[in-house]
Amino acid sequence: MKRLAIVAALMVAATNAVSISWTGYGGDNQWTNTINWSPDQVPGTDDDVTIASGIVQVTIPTGVNSLVMGTSFSAPANLTVFQSFFIGTGGMQVEGNGNLFINSGSASVSGQVTIGGNLYFQSGQISGQWTINTRGVADLSGAAEKVLTGCQFISSATSFGFSGVLVLNQSSQVIVRTAVVFSGDASVQAQDSTSVLFDSSLGTLTYSGNGDFQIMAPFHFGVFDFIGGNVTIYDEVAFVNPLVIPSGSFVSSVGTAVANFSAGVRGAGVLTGAGSNLILGNTTLSGAVNVVGGNVTFVGAGSTIGTLTISGGYLVLNNQVAATQLNFLAGNVVGSSTLTAAQLYLSSAGFNLDSAVVATKSAAVGGLLAFGSTGALTIGSAATLTTLASITFTGAPGPTVTNLGNLSITAPTVFQNINLEGSGNLYTSTTVFFQTATLTQTAVILSGAGIFKGANTRILVIGRVAASTAPSVSATIGAFSFTCPTECDDVSTSGTPTDNFNFSS
């Protein structure tokens, strides 16, 4: 008897599943009005529902087994969801003349949904499997928060617009296979996953307007058409194609962000690395790159930058980088390749150099330049490196400043364990003091109160020491003092222990 009762109950449940169609005869657009349906009953969770056309509003929590809407050619079907709405195993199909509106903070649609018409998701929550096919349109605009919970959202839409806040929960994923347009202030956030949550690697993402685009979820880009505004990266981001930053726009990585631009960066905007790791392929940026924190690693060959500023973290040179203006404010330069600059500025905050730097034109320095074991600074033959403030070149014994051009000292300067070598000229109007192993220059030119002196310098080879503003040069080498009319030629010492020296005009 018990078995017969169970079978009977199942038959009753099956009988209760009804195919119900919207008529709208009630005239109030309400889902809950039985007169709006044929037969005259409000659909339930077991029912299969058709809304060929009409305006329908869901104002209570409800659900259906399946829903097909927008099948009429003569009039659209508009369904607006204000409360939770559950789609059963039959799924939901929004056909070409259908419009699904989810625009309330209390709205929630879950289930398998296929959009061949229009989706307007401006506020609320969705879950389940959502597919926007090639005939469909997705509009996720508006400043309000849009939440995906346990949702896979795949778009091949002819149009996909987004602004405001998109929150991806429970490993939700957005996959863009065609195009998506972000505008104004936009934010994509993740709360509980480390996998790629927004993947447009097979499509095109366009960002326009003067707003801020905040990437706070793992993100993969294919073609990124960056028209204007600013982008801030907080999470893991990778670009399949080169990133082009337009003039007046800023891209920043912050916090724990890992931003992979190994495909390259171009344009005239500004790129700032303040996150954990910023990886740069071939970079041709006439604007600026700022190294603020973490690692900024150049892996692409032949990068050129308008202004490169290092104020913290590490600049890692795996390939050569050339900058028009190079600002050393604080931080470190490391790596096996070379950094060249047409102009160089060093602040008083101090800087650690453990890679090769070449100044090719006029430059200015001041502060503390600390050399690592492989650090090197070269002044090119056409360059002048000028000290605008006091500077100390220091480090463990061995690193070298190679002067092939001109080194102009206008504020007290110290070389401590750092060699000065090359065929260039040293100009000083103040005191320059050497505590170093090797000092070789073609000429030392003294002006005003210029003093050229040193101690513990084992090798001193100077072609001439001249006074540009005095008739003679006063010289002391060890225990010997003498005066040279106009200049002292072929100044050379070598020995251990070394002799102190002092030249003044």
Q: Please answer whether residues 32 and 44 qualify as being in contact, where contact means their C-beta atoms are separated by less than 8 angstroms.
A: no
Rounded Cα distance between 468 and 445, Å, is 7
- 384 and 467 in a single domain? The answer is yes
Residue 97 resides in a domain: no
Q: Is the pLDDT of residue 496 over 60?
A: no
Regarding whether 315 and 448 lie in a shared domain, the answer is: no
Q: Are residues 490 and 381 in the same domain?
A: yes
Distance CA 454, CA 420 (A): 12
Residue 7 has a pLDDT of 36
What is the C-alpha separation between 248 and 269, in angstroms, rounded? 6
From the CB of residue 329, how many other CB atoms can be counted at a distance below 10 Å?
Answer: 19
pLDDT, position 350: 67
- How far is it, in rounded angstroms, from Cα 157 to Cα 139? 10
Question: Which pLDDT tens digit goes with each residue over 476-487?
Answer: 998 889 999 989
Burial 231-264 (b: 16+ CB within 10 A, else e): bbbbbbbbbeebbbbeeebbbbbbeebbbbbbbb
Q: How far apart are alpha carbons 152 and 336 in whole angstroms?
A: 44
Closest CA relative to residue 24, chosen from 46, 55, 3, 48 = 55
pLDDT at 241: 93
User: Could you say which of 337, 360, 375 is where a domain stops?
Assistant: 337
393 domain residue, yes or no: yes
Inside any domain, residue 49? no
The reported pLDDT for the residue numbered 194 is 59
331 and 401 belong to one structural domain: no
**What pLDDT was estimated at residue 121?**
96
Confidence category of residue 6, pLDDT binned at 50, 70, 90: very low
The predicted structure's pLDDT at residue 365: 78
Q: Please tell me the distance from the alpha carbon of residue 59 to that of residue 79, in angstroms, as a whole number.
A: 11
Classify the C-alpha dihedral 247-249-253-259 as positive or negative. negative
Give Cβ neighbours of residue 6 (< 8 Å, ≥ 6 apart).
Answer: none
pLDDT band at 9; cut points 50, 70, 90: very low
- Average pLDDT over the chain reads 90
**CA distance linking residue 384 with residue 309, whole number of Å:** 20
248: left (phi over 0), alpha (psi -120 to 50) or beta: left
ω into 242 cis (within 30 of 0): no
223-264 pLDDT tens trace: 999 999 999 999 999 999 999 999 999 999 999 899 999 999
Please compute the mean of the pLDDT values over residues 481-496 and round it to a whole number: 87
Does 15 score more than 60 pLDDT? no
> In the prediction, which pLDDT does 2 show?
38
Query: Please, which residues have CB within 8 angstroms of residue 41's CB and are 6 or more apart in sequence?
Result: 18, 20, 34
Residue 142 banded pLDDT, cuts 50, 70, 90 = very high
Q: Is residue 447 part of a domain?
A: yes
| Residue 253, domain member (yes or no) | no
Asked whether residue 69 is domain-assigned, the answer is no
Same-domain status, 385 and 481? yes
Category of 240 on φ-ψ map: left (φ > 0), alpha (ψ -120 to 50) or beta = alpha
Is residue 466 in some structural domain? Answer: yes
Task: Please work out, in degrees rounded to the nearest 5, the angle formed at the alpha carbon of residue 50 by the alpha carbons of 101 and 61.
Answer: 50
Concatenated DSSP letters for 439-502? EEEEEEEE-TT-EEEESS-SEEEEEEEEESSSSEEEEEETTEEEEEESEEEEEEEE-SSPPPEE
Segment 383-407 mean pLDDT:
88
Residue pLDDT, tens place only, 274-326: 988 999 999 999 999 999 999 999 998 889 999 999 999 999 999 999 999 89
- Mean predicted confidence (pLDDT) in 96-123: 92
409 & 476 share domain: yes
DSSP helix/strand/coil, 10: helix
* DSSP per-residue letters across 27-77: SS-BTT-GGGEESSS---TT-EEEE-SEEEEE-S-EEEEEEEE---SSS-E
Tell me the per-residue pLDDT of 39-52, one tens digit each, with 9 for 90 and over.
Answer: 999 999 999 999 99
Structure tokens at 178: 């065609």
More reliable by pLDDT, 22 or 372: 22
Q: Is the pLDDT higher at 281 or at 329?
A: 281
Domain shared by 359 and 436, yes or no = yes
Range of the domain at 477: 352-504
Task: Among 291, 310, 337, give the residue marking a domain's end.
Answer: 337
Residue 412 forms part of a structural domain = yes
480 and 395 both lie in a single domain: yes
d(CA 404, CA 40): 94
pLDDT reported for residue 193: 64
In this structure, the answer to whether residues 316 and 457 fall within a common structural domain is no
- Please state the pTM of the whole predicted model: 0.82
pLDDT at 431 over 70: yes
Query: Residue 10 has what pLDDT?
Result: 36
Averaged pLDDT for residues 145-164: 94
Q: Are residues 313 and 381 in the same domain?
A: no
**Which two tokens mark 106?**
């209390």
Domain count, the chain: 2
Residue type at 111? Answer: G
What mean pLDDT comes out for the span 444-465?
Answer: 93
Quick one: 329 and 362 in the same domain? no
Distance (Å, whole) CA 190 – CA 198: 10
Residues 269 and 315 reside in one and the same domain = yes
Taking residue 412's Cβ as centre, other Cβ atoms within 10 Å add up to: 16
Please name the residue ranges forming H helices in 342-414: none
Question: At which of 282, 311, 337 does a domain end?
Answer: 337
Residues in the chain: 505
How many percent of the chain have pLDDT more than 90? 70
pLDDT digits (tens, 9 = 90+) for 339-363: 988 888 776 566 778 888 887 777 7
Q: Containing H/E element for 315?
A: strand 303-317
